[in-house]
Structure 1
């Protein structure tokens, strides 16, 4: 898919109503690779695919920066630690869903009106597909102020 196609899907995502509480969110997969489970477990191809998706994320971020200004970056490291801690149950729903999905990559995000738009590349483990995704939430919970 092209950056323009990703932008169209993100516009659709931003137009969706956030139902329930202000913590509601939507997530869309913009692009997904094949899986890398045996016998398709070619490490070199996985690395090339990851680099390709990261490059696509950079291009998408540049287009989103042009639309909504410079993005901020949020490391998912703290969320992952909280997710893995059996005594921790305060992870905001948006971040909990990202962790449950195995999307541990740093988030690039923008404030768009009363919402936060985040994009990233996720890859749960070596057998799973690489995923370029976008998410929208109405809650700033878990994001720096």
Structure 2
């Protein structure tokens, strides 16, 4: 997919309702996913190249979204990852719990778009799993810096 196709997918998320039955909701979408790296496909060099390629695509996407919505902010997922791994995920906001459950521990780039937040990042749960470029939309600022 191209950056323009990624943006079209994000626009689709922005157009979707975010609440159902009074519950705050969010939407996540996989923009691109690599193959897995489980044996016998566990080529470490290829995993590094793939991760770098996905990070470069994230940078291109961020540049396009910056041009559209202004400069993005960044948010480390480190504290959320520790809370999740320590089984203290009851304290995690739902959007961040879902990211952790999906293994998306990479730092988030995000933009405020009206009453919503749009986030994008590269996730890679562990060395056997695919590398994933993803985006999400939420109306809840819970967990994001003020």
* TM-score bucket of the superposed structures, by smaller chain: over 0.9
Q: CA RMSD in A?
A: 1.0
Note the residue ranges of structure 1 that are not aligned, 5 or more in a row: none
Residue 17 (1) aligns with residue 17 (2): yes
The size of the alignment, in residue pairs, is: 145
Note the residue ranges of structure 2 that are not aligned, 5 or more in a row: none
Which TM-score applies when normalising by structure 1? 0.97
CA distance in 1, matches of 2:88, 2:26: 24
Q: Residues 22 and 139 of structure 1 are in contact (CA less than 8 Å); yes or no, is this contact kept in structure 2? A: no
Residue 141 (1) aligns with residue 135 (2): no
Cα displacement string for residues 14-69 of structure 1 (whole angstroms, at most 9, x for unaligned residues): 11111234631000000000000000000000000000000000000000000000
SS in 2 for 1:140: coil
Shift of 1:89: 1.6
Distance 1:56 1:27, change over 3 A: same
Which TM-score applies when normalising by structure 2? 0.96
- Map of 1:39 onto structure 2: 40
- Map of 1:5 onto structure 2: 5
Runs of 4+ that moved beyond 4 A: none
CA distance in 1, matches of 2:7, 2:106: 20
Q: Residues 89 and 97 of structure 2 are in contact (CA less than 8 Å); yes or no, is this contact kept in structure 1? A: no
